[in-house]
Amino acid sequence: MIRMKSVYYACIIVIALLCITITACSNDDNQTTSWIEGKWELTFDPDGDKTDWLIFQNDNSIVLETSDGRKISGEYIISQNDIFLTFKVNSKSVDLRLTVSDDKSKLMNNSGAYYTKL
């Protein structure tokens, strides 16, 4: 009888821990990446390129919209302080890495150009 109670309590503890773990994981992902969603504008470019926009979706898809109205689709991955973008252009992959500012107000590339959220 004592053994059955021990097994019962062990099962309850395992189920409770699984529920807590699953809940914690699913909520954290949405809260930590939601800041990126929306439209970001090329605010500064030392090379003088025309303004473009990055539109981040919550499903890790992205659209690059150029000043002449072209739209190029791609995907993004957030990894710590970097965002890795991949676009398909004429059946070739074009990769870009942007660094996120500490306050998450700018997305910067290596040339010094940066995007700010609209």
Residue range 37-117 in CATH 2.40.128:
yes
Domain limits of the chain? Answer: 1-34, 37-117
How confident is the model over 50-64, as pLDDT tens digits? 999 999 999 999 999
Q: Average pLDDT per run of 10 along the chain, which is 118 residues long?
A: 51 44 43 88 96 97 97 96 95 96 96 97
92, containing H or E segment: strand 92-100
Give the number of other Cβ atoms within 10 Å of residue 42's Cβ.
19
**Spatial distance between the Cα atoms of 73 and 38, rounded to a whole number of angstroms:** 14
- Which pTM was predicted? 0.72
pLDDT of residue 3: 56
pLDDT of residue 65: 98
